[in-house]
């Protein structure tokens, strides 16, 4: 759905920003309710996906070396699954 159909207005400047994206204040056209719109920075998902792949590989090496008594790959997987919800 196009942005101008969903929102009657969007703040020109973000109300919050972080490394993964920015948050803007907007007003829903249908109800007039003020909402937060989270906008992900371009390329973030692919960059983070590569980072997760590297972390999984490294955690496998650590497990093989016997340096930790935990399933580090499962920890990485759980953390990764929460990133883009």
**pTM for the full model?**
0.59
Shared domain check, 35 and 56: no
In order of 19, 21, 46, 47, 59, the CA distances from 43 in angstroms are 12, 11, 6, 6, 24
Shared domain check, 35 and 17: yes
Domains of the chain: total: 2
Shared domain check, 62 and 50: yes
For 12-66, the pLDDT digits (tens) are 999 999 878 899 999 999 999 999 999 988 888 888 899 999 999 999 888 888 8
- Tell me the residue range of the domain where 55 lies: 44-83
Shared domain check, 50 and 32: no
Shared domain check, 63 and 50: yes
Distance from C-alpha of 25 to C-alpha of 15, rounded to nearest angstrom: 7
**Over 70: is that where the pLDDT of 74 sits?**
yes
Shared domain check, 7 and 30: yes
């Amino acid at each position: 759905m196009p942005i101008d159909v969903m929102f009657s207005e969007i703040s020109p400047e973000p109300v919050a920003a972080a490394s993964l994206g920015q948050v803007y204040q907007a007003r829903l056209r249908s109800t007039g309710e003020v909402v937060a719109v989270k906008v992900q920075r371009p390329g973030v998902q692919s960059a983070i996906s590569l980072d997760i792949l590297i972390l999984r590989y490294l955690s496998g090496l650590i497990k093989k070396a016997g340096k930790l008594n935990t399933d580090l790959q499962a920890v990485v997987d759980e953390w990764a699954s929460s990133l883009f919800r």
